[in-house]
Structure 1
């Protein structure tokens, strides 16, 4: 029984120290528990060597003291279950020793019962101990699990806070970028409007030289016929002062003056139409369609484009071939817009032939052809073909892109064909088709619904 008491004291003390972690949390109690372990060892040695029954009462005191401390002391409350495990063994051991002290005969008669009860109490102790260890492991596992969950929650909360901060920073950055992009878009739109206006003014500049040449011809006729008419009037006055007036000569002079005045009127109207065309081309488009003669419009802008290039380069020369369909009739278009399209195509055609001429090809004659055709009752087409250098295949898909140009810097805005494409397709519901072979020809076809 003493060995059992020693084992119980030893493992109970160890259980209490480990469970409560007395070395770190309760150093005073840890020292006392260590003394209890030494005392139990000393009692065991006394039992072995002294062979006295007196020490068994010290075992009872030690056990009752441990269980009482575990049950009564506040610091030991977490290990109160030690009473459930050790209590039955203490009670049976104490009961046996008290009965033996009072009546040895009676003790002998129930000794077997007390021994069996002691065995069961010891088994109960072990079972309770194992169960307690299992529960303690489960609780420790649960505590660790809860601790891990708390750590994970803390990490998640930290990550969420970090993500919220990142999202807030990213949102602020995107907002800033959005504002910058909106500002950039506004600036690009303003720049685009300026470039479009620049393209219009560039085409107007190309017209100026051609118009100067075109308007000079009728003005020369007006001046010449005016001078001749003045001379004829003087001649008529002189004839009337003669005594032998010749009525037939007077009638002939009057007829010549009348014809001169008719020619002056004709060429004056021609100059007036040129000026009106220039003003119409320079002003902003109203997008109002008018039924006009496409043949006259194409012929006029062809000559203006040609003389415009001649004014800037006296060495430039090209053959102009026209094949206009007399049955074309009047077509409803926006005159200034369609004029810009034709001027751009004619200017590009003359430019392409001039670039090919500068390569020094023998027997090369720059030629630009303009043809109009009525396809059917609802559609017409205008073809502008040149025998210039053609368009390289790699850039063919880019020619209608805004700001794309193959001309040297300063000679093109890259908006001519882009604006022309928009005017034909979006403004008039037509088509602008290109057919080309590098080094041989380029042909643009405008198809318009009538």
Structure 2
């Protein structure tokens, strides 16, 4: 009888071992001895498995269960930052959990490291420590299918290049992903000993909630795509030193909800923002702005939509924004070295027959030293096609100096500017008014 039990146990152990390939070790292997769900510290056991894996070119498997950690799990301890090229992975991120209540970096990694299918959890009652720390120059690393919560920093790294961060769910942190340069200052590009920017990285399907800043990058040539930040102070921050600005970064298909400042940019040459939905606040509790940029170079915006209320659509210092940034109720704040060039803005419009003024939508307001082309079309009195074109010139930064000139058409429609707002009306009384109208505003200077 005892023999049968032992044989069955041997078969089970053998089957479990067979589930892992020859290039993978489990932290629960008797050689290392981590035990799930026992509420004891597994730091030494997991570190022993990592050290063995680094020395023997193995991957490290973390099975289902909760493993407590009180000391940093350091992949670089045995062979240093450049030669510790291993893979750590769990069964599934909602099943394999590494938890800590210590103020530590839970995982310390470097070159060519892969981390997948894990939950990394800070259980202290306040945000502290870092889930994944990349202290020096990580090339071609990959981090995917991770749940991270409770830390000061979800991912904190320096000089990260050609790496991928994908399918990450990060909650209740101060910074979701923060790739910096040297200390509090960004790195210079390719000037040792000051270091490098983080560059040519991909951030795909990143979700950050309950943070100060969702994604903060001292970076060039990086792409943030298919990502979301919610209930945070800042969505994405791109920054660099004044002497060596960042450039060629791109944000695509981005969603922001409950975010006070969606994009923050400092010391940048170029940034492309494409396909964004930015949701503001209530009319009595407006969010701050969609874009805030200081020495931000040229920011090009395409395909942005938004709803609800804002204090500003853009806040600009020495920055040019090209493209429409919708923000209900939001005003443009720009210094003399800046320009907001929204391109063509369109809206539907109908004009009554009693020759009263009708305001164009608030996002069609004008400001600064600028010139605009306005076109309006529609059907007057149910039968007459109408097409009018006007030029509006605004200077000295004050809309009361705006001048409106009729440039083409028969003069059925008139425009005026008052307090930066544009108004239109039919130039006579009677008839059936203007129906099916469309108005287009294009800034040309």
Q: What TM-score do the two structures reach when normalised by structure 1?
A: 0.19
> Larger % of helix: which?
1
Q: Which structure has the larger Rg over C-alpha atoms?
A: 1
Q: What TM-score do the two structures reach when normalised by structure 2?
A: 0.19
> Larger % of strand: which?
2
Higher RCO, 1 or 2 (CA under 8 Å, sep at least 6)?
Answer: 1
